[in-house]
Every structure is written in C-alpha cells, then in structure tokens.
Chain A
Amino acid sequence: MAIGLTWNIDDADHMTQGEIYGEVLTRLGSENPKIVALTADLAGSTKIGAFQKKHADRFFNFGIMETNMMGWASGLAESGLIPVVSTFAAFAALRCAEHVRTDICYNKRNVKIIATHSGTSFGPAGTTHHCTEDLAVMRAIAGMTVIVPADAFETAKATAAVIAHDGPCYVRIGRSFEPPLWKNLDFDWEIGKAIQLREGTDCTVIACGPSVLEACDASDRAKARGLAVRVLDMHTIKPLDKDAVVRALMDTRRIITAEDHNVLGGLGSAVAEVIAESGKGCVLRRLGMQDRFSPHGSPEDLQHMHKIDADGIEETIAEVMKTDFEADEDWEDEV
C-alpha cells in the first residue's frame, strides 16, 4: 500500500476508531523502537493505553499535566525518539497551544499529537470537553501538519503516515463511536491529497472527519433527485490540497464545506482562502458551528443542529443549487 502498511486489522468492524488507533500504534511500536507514547491520565479513554500493554518501557503516563508533557515530548525527540502524545483535543490544542507552538513546532521537534474527543464527538460531556477551535489553532502554527481522518481506517493510515513523516503533526480523531466510511484498508491515502468519493459537476461538498460520511449520504440523496454532487474527503487540512479545491471550483462553481468545528479558522476558512486567491467567482457555504459554542447533546443530535449531518448538507445543496451561473466562455481568463 501507498504508505507502507503491512498489517491487517482483525475484526475492524467491531473496533472503535480509538481502539484501532491504539492497535495500530502498538504494531508500529513493535516495528519501530523509536516510538514512545505519552498521555496525561487518559490512557484508557484515548486508547493509547494499548501501547502500554506491549511496550510498557516506552509508555509514560504524566497524570493530569498536559503542558509539561508537551515540553517533555519536545525534549524526548532530541535523542531521535518519536514521541506520540495522546489526550483530548481540548487539552492538546487549546490548553497546550503555546507549548505545542514553541516547544514542538518552533523548536522543530518530531512529535506526533493524536488528539481524541475532538469537535462535538464527546457531545454529552458539554462544551468544556468539546473542541471546535483546534483546527484553527493548529493550522496557524508554522510547520505543523494537520490531519482529520474520516474514520478508523483513515486513522490507521494517518497514524502510520505521521510516524513516517519527519516533523510535527496533529491528528484529530473523535471519541471512537463514529460509523466507518471505509470497509477495509484497501484504498490509497496520502498526506495532503484529497480523496474524491463521489463524482459530480453540479456542486462539491468538501468535508473532513465524520462529516465526510454525511456528505456522501447527502450526495447519494441528491443523486436520486438528478443532481451530481462531488464529495471530497479533505482529510489533510494542512497542507491543503489546493488543486482539488480549484478543480472543484472550476468544475462545479458551488462549494459547501462541512466540519465538526467552528466555521472560523478550520476547513471552511482554508477552502475559502484558496477560492479567494484563485480569482474565480463561486458560491460558498461553510457548515459547522456558526461562531458559537455547541451545547451538550448526543453527537448525532449536535451534528443535526449544526447542519453537518446528511440532512443539513442536503438542505444546503438544495439552497446553493438555486444559484444560476450564466455560461461564461471567458471563465478561463478571469484571474
């Protein structure tokens, strides 16, 4: 496979995203003795604890002290080790923002942050445990690679890819109960390369994380109504696959972004920047939290509330399709 995966995940259908992450990291740890795993009293919740069972001598639980853990991870990398740090996204990206920025990225340390319970995936826990700002924060840090796998299979691919990648990485996954997008690991996945999951020329939905599956469902529903809606799985927020965005812009002229994140600063903003710089006209709708905190609730209810489920995306597709574009022979020359 493209990124050198050499294993099969047994019973993947029965494992949660987090469990697969823990399993994959444990296997990678067997192949690569440089990997060390760190957590802050969330070994069980983030599933990084699976690594501990097999590699106890390379597993370190810091208790509830996230900022020190990030600096420590930076230091561990000095000796060539590859520290993998897991805690909830709210703590990894927000509480530790300066430590990630200064200790890890400014110091150019090869640390991998696998942040769980991102977005509203830990919905019932309430806003303190949501994290709908991390993509904005991590994307703004120079040198950071930012990845949002769509499901557990992509998490497996992403985990292997970031270990192989030289430089700091932030991988954002959910609480672990998200439904799978893929059926197995038999697909190509590469950092910075969007995956087109549905073809279409009427409209494009660019999504990341659990919103990708919802976008596919919305596209399938639209197809029944005669619409061809392209779906891009934009699993890498940085570096963004700008070519895929521009192709969508040229081919469909209607773009919807969907993310479990504030619409400010995340995927929607990244896509908007590409569109603005292209000089081309386009209808753009950004779905996510509309500059508000999400209340508590089940993830499914919250996705519905924020219109990032299939219903909300379908509704938005219908809305943008009301916009007509005149035939424009000079389209190629508009820049």
Chain B
Amino acid sequence: MAATQAEAKSGGLPAAELQRLTGIAKRVREKILHVTEKSGGGHLGGSFSQTDILVALYHKYMRVDPKNPKWEERDRFVLSKGHGGIGHATLLGDMGFFEEVKLEKFNKTESIFGMHLDRHKVPGVDASTGSLAHGFAIGLGFAHGARLTDRKWHTYIVISDGELHEGTTWEAFLSGAQFKITNATVFVDFNKLTIDGFTAQIMNVEPIDKKIEAFGWYVQRIDGHDFNQICEAIENAAAETERPSCIICDTVKGKGVDFMENQPKWHYGGLDNELAAKALAALRKG
C-alpha cells in the first residue's frame, strides 16, 4: 500500500534543518523570479512546484561537488520534465556549479542556457531533456549502468504528471520493476496542470498511486512542499531493496506566488518590473 500523508509525516526534521531547507527554497524561488525577469520568460509554474523536491535532494541527499560537476562518483540527476530547466539551472547556479551571473543571459543566443538544458553546456546537468517522457528511461539506464559496472551512485529522476500521459513513461515503469532498478528514485511533481489546463479534465491519471503500485513499484504519496515528508520519503525509498521507488509529490503549480498558484496561464510567462516586484512581494510574504 502507498504510505499515506499522515504516515509519511511521522518523522520530522530538527527545527534548524527545516529552517535551513525552507530558507534555501525561498532564496531559490526568488532567484528564479529574477532570472525569469531577465530572460524574457520562463516556465515559472513547474519550476516553483518542483523547487522543494530539488532543494531537498541537492542540499541534503545528493553527493555532488559544484566545483567538480563531472565528478565520476556523483549521484546522477535527471529532470525528465525538462521545461523546469530555468528552476534547475537557477538552483545549480545558487550552489556554485557555474558563475551565477551567467544566468542573467538565460534564453539568450550567446548564453549556455536555453529553456531546456543541454548537458554539454550547463555544468551539473546529466541529461539533455525537454521532450516529455524521455528522461525517465535515461535515468533508469543511468541506474542500471551503475549496477552493471559496480558504481555506487544513486540516480534521482523527476517527472511531471503531464508525462504520465505518455506511453513511454509506462514502459519505463514496467521495465523499472522488471529489472528491479532499486538504485534510482523517481519523483512525480504532481502539480495537476498541463499547458492547456487541469490534468484531470484533459486526461485523468488518477488514482495514480494505485496505478504505479500495480506496476510493481514502492509508492509513497506526500505533500511535495513539506520538507519533513519529502525527506522521510527519500529515506524510506533508500531503505527499500526489493522494488523501485516512486514518490508522488502533490504539489502546487506556481507554488509561493499567490496569483500564479494553480493558474494554467503561469505554465510559462514573462515578468515586467511591476509584475516581478508583485511576485517577489508575494513570495516574501509567504
């Protein structure tokens, strides 16, 4: 059975740790707003919904070295929902994978950053993604390859609920279970929206936990903005040795900026000075 939200919440981070992660997430979201304003437009909605998952991974669990992005033994990360690239890149810049000032040129021709990140250009990116339902299989391949070559690294994969529409995603769920890929953890950034509207109305995927569980995975369903739940789920997943792990994160598209939350139009948007200031104020207000 999928762990319920109440069960997953039973742990709890020390207050200082919770405060640390919350503070980083807030800082990263503020920076995403800034980069979006500079770039002329960005995938704000999905970048905000995924932020807490990425912050927990990069700042608490993943073995990476910002000064040595190609470190052979690093944990691998695949943002299968590649349109979250502006959020991912901003987080990497915040950590020092590259000079943060480079983000000022996001989307510009001379920049290393297009809206979907290129692994050959952006330090810290392990897979070039963008077209949906590609990164999941690539990430499982990373993990499988690690097992075959006796590497210790773990692979973390973040997919979107929109990707659950694609048949290839379900192929990946089937094969992940068949090959018992237990050295990867898959997160569903379940923000309930695609470009055209609400997932449930366009092509419903619920009950998603039961579906994925029926495919042979260890499934946890949590609040994807609650660091206590995110961290506990990651640790539960690490302890699971028989089935591959999927953490369904119920998230809010546009999380943190009240007028963007749950608004399909904020899948992708631009910010002028006024809107950027309004969004920043909303973020800081919490």
* A interface residue numbers (CB < 8 A to B): 36, 58, 60, 62-63, 65, 67-81, 98-99, 102-103, 106-108
Once A75-B138, A99-B134 are accepted as A-B contacts, the answer to whether A62 and B175 lie under 8 Å apart by CB is: yes
Contact with A along B123-157 (1 / 0, CB 8 A): 00011101100111111111111101101000000
Q: Which 10 A-B pairs have the closest CB atoms?
A: A75-B141, A71-B137, A79-B145, A68-B171, A65-B171, A72-B141, A75-B138, A76-B145, A79-B149, A75-B142
Q: B171 to chain A: which residues have CB within 8 Å?
A: 62, 65, 67-68
CB within 8 A of A77: which of B76, B143, B145, B167?
Answer: B145
Classify chain B's interface size. Answer: 20 to 34
The answer to whether A108 and B120 touch across the interface, beta carbons within 8 angstroms, is yes
The answer to whether B131 and A75 touch across the interface, beta carbons within 8 angstroms, is no
Residue B211 lies at the interface, judged by CB distance under 8 Å to chain A: no
| Shortest beta-carbon distance from B272 to chain A in Å | 34
* B interface residue numbers (CB < 8 A to A): 76, 119-120, 126-128, 130-131, 134-146, 148-149, 151, 167-168, 171-172, 174-175, 178-179
Q: B126 to chain A: which residues have CB within 8 Å?
A: 78
The answer to whether A106 and B128 touch across the interface, beta carbons within 8 angstroms, is yes
The answer to whether A71 and B120 touch across the interface, beta carbons within 8 angstroms, is no
Beyond A63-B174, A65-B168, A68-B171, list 6 extra A-B contacts (CB 8 Å).
A65-B171, A68-B137, A79-B149, A98-B134, A102-B131, A103-B134
* Complex A-B: 8 CB contacts under 8 Å: A68-B168, A68-B172, A72-B141, A74-B127, A75-B139, A75-B144, A78-B142, A102-B130
| Shortest beta-carbon distance from B135 to chain A in Å | 8
Q: Report Cα–Cα, A76/B144, bound state, in Å.
A: 7
The answer to whether A75 and B174 touch across the interface, beta carbons within 8 angstroms, is no
CB within 8 A of B128: which of A58, A63, A70, A102?
Answer: A102
Q: Report Cα–Cα, A65/B173, bound state, in Å.
A: 11
CB within 8 A of B141: which of A58, A73, A98, A108?
Answer: A73
CB within 8 A of B142: which of A79, A98, A108?
Answer: A79
Q: B172 to chain A: which residues have CB within 8 Å?
A: 68, 71-72
| Shortest beta-carbon distance from B246 to chain A in Å | 16
Q: Report Cα–Cα, A71/B139, bound state, in Å.
A: 8
The answer to whether A71 and B141 touch across the interface, beta carbons within 8 angstroms, is yes
| Shortest beta-carbon distance from A299 to chain B in Å | 32
What is the chain B residue whose CB lies nearest that of A101?
Answer: B131
The answer to whether B137 and A79 touch across the interface, beta carbons within 8 angstroms, is no
The answer to whether B76 and A36 touch across the interface, beta carbons within 8 angstroms, is no
The answer to whether B148 and A36 touch across the interface, beta carbons within 8 angstroms, is yes
| Shortest beta-carbon distance from B138 to chain A in Å | 4
| Shortest beta-carbon distance from B52 to chain A in Å | 26
| Shortest beta-carbon distance from A41 to chain B in Å | 12
Once A63-B174, A68-B175, A71-B137 are accepted as A-B contacts, the answer to whether A107 and B119 lie under 8 Å apart by CB is: yes
Among A36, A71, A76, A108, which residue has the most Cβ atoms of chain B within 10 A?
A71
| Shortest beta-carbon distance from A110 to chain B in Å | 12
Once A68-B171, A74-B138 are accepted as A-B contacts, the answer to whether A107 and B127 lie under 8 Å apart by CB is: yes
Once A58-B148, A78-B145 are accepted as A-B contacts, the answer to whether A71 and B134 lie under 8 Å apart by CB is: yes
The answer to whether B141 and A60 touch across the interface, beta carbons within 8 angstroms, is no
CB within 8 A of B138: which of A80, A98, A107?
Answer: A107
Among B128, B131, B138, which residue has the most Cβ atoms of chain A within 10 A?
B138
What is the chain A residue whose CB lies nearest that of B172?
Answer: A68
Once A76-B145, A108-B120 are accepted as A-B contacts, the answer to whether A65 and B175 lie under 8 Å apart by CB is: yes
The answer to whether A80 and B149 touch across the interface, beta carbons within 8 angstroms, is yes
Q: Report Cα–Cα, A80/B72, bound state, in Å.
A: 11
Q: B151 to chain A: which residues have CB within 8 Å?
A: 79
Q: B139 to chain A: which residues have CB within 8 Å?
A: 75
| Shortest beta-carbon distance from A145 to chain B in Å | 19
| Shortest beta-carbon distance from A271 to chain B in Å | 32
Q: Report Cα–Cα, A69/B151, bound state, in Å.
A: 21
Q: A102 to chain B: which residues have CB within 8 Å?
A: 128, 130-131, 134
Q: A76 to chain B: which residues have CB within 8 Å?
A: 141-142, 144-145, 148
Q: A98 to chain B: which residues have CB within 8 Å?
A: 131, 134
Q: A75 to chain B: which residues have CB within 8 Å?
A: 127, 137-145
CB within 8 A of A72: which of B76, B127, B130, B138?
Answer: B138
What is the chain A residue whose CB lies nearest that of B78?
Answer: A75
Among A67, A72, A73, which residue has the most Cβ atoms of chain B within 10 A?
A72
Q: Report Cα–Cα, A80/B150, bound state, in Å.
A: 12
Q: Report Cα–Cα, A63/B128, bound state, in Å.
A: 26
Once A60-B179, A81-B149, A106-B128 are accepted as A-B contacts, the answer to whether A67 and B168 lie under 8 Å apart by CB is: yes
Q: A77 to chain B: which residues have CB within 8 Å?
A: 141, 145
Once A71-B136, A71-B138, A72-B138 are accepted as A-B contacts, the answer to whether A107 and B145 lie under 8 Å apart by CB is: no
Q: Report Cα–Cα, A102/B128, bound state, in Å.
A: 8
